[in-house]
């Protein structure tokens, strides 16, 4: 059987449509965790986020990440700070978690050994004199 140009045209058109349908299926079944579920609420309350970070300027603090020692260190001039440390991973919301922290001799250290590879955002939040304050750091574990 000899295939003429009409048969070839139909074959390639059908093949292209099947390819497009396959790609639509693959794209629609992918899980995307890059957007927070409550992004609208967070957008409305974004001024509160700005206030937390500007208020933290009154407390002398620093966040040091040592990937070679697998430690993150938070230092502050107020030795009585207690709060919450949030670990956020944009690529997978199932890895996000939070833990309480308390400074001991103005220093808090946390082991990064149990964290998976990838980009992490860590946020320290604490309350001082009735004001909510925060400091944030981003790091990559390879």
- pLDDT tens-digit readout, 25-53: 999 998 776 667 777 888 888 888 898 98
> Does one domain contain both 13 and 46?
no
> Does one domain contain both 7 and 64?
no
Can you give the CATH number for the domain in which 50 is found?
Answer: 2.60.40.10
Q: What is the DSSP string of the chain?
A: ----HHHHHHHHHHHHHHHHHHHHHHHHT----SS-TTHHHHHHTHHHHHHHHHHGGGS-EEEEEETTTTEEEEEES-TT-EEEEEEE-TT-GGG-EEEEEE-BTTEEEEE-TTPPSEEEEEEEEEEETTEEEEEEEEEEE-
- pLDDT tens-digit readout, 45-79: 888 889 898 988 888 888 888 888 889 999 988 87
> Does one domain contain both 64 and 124?
yes
> Does one domain contain both 24 and 92?
no
> Does one domain contain both 91 and 110?
yes
Instruction: State the residue range of the domain holding 18.
Output: 1-30
> Does one domain contain both 52 and 72?
yes
> Does one domain contain both 24 and 91?
no
Per the CB < 8 A criterion, the answer to whether 74 and 63 are in contact is: yes
> Does one domain contain both 45 and 84?
yes
> Does one domain contain both 69 and 26?
no
Q: How many domains does the chain have?
A: 2
- pLDDT tens-digit readout, 76-126: 888 778 899 999 988 888 889 999 999 888 899 999 888 999 999 999 999
């Amino acid at each position: 059987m000899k295939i003429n140009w009409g048969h070839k045209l139909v074959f390639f058109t059908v093949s292209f449509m099947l390819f497009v349908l396959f790609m639509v299926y693959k794209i629609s079944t992918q899980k995307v965790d890059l957007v927070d579920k409550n992004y609208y609420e967070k957008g409305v309350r974004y001024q509160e986020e700005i206030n937390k970070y500007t208020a933290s300027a009154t407390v002398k603090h620093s966040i040091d990440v040592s990937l070679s020692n697998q430690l993150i260190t938070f230092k502050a001039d107020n030795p009585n700070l207690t709060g919450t440390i949030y670990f956020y991973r944009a690529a997978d919301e199932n890895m996000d978690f939070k833990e309480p922290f308390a400074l001991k001799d103005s220093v808090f250290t946390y082991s990064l050994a149990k964290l998976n590879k990838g980009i992490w955002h860590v946020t320290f939040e604490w309350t001082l004199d009735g004001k909510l304050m925060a400091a944030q750091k981003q790091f990559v574990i390879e």
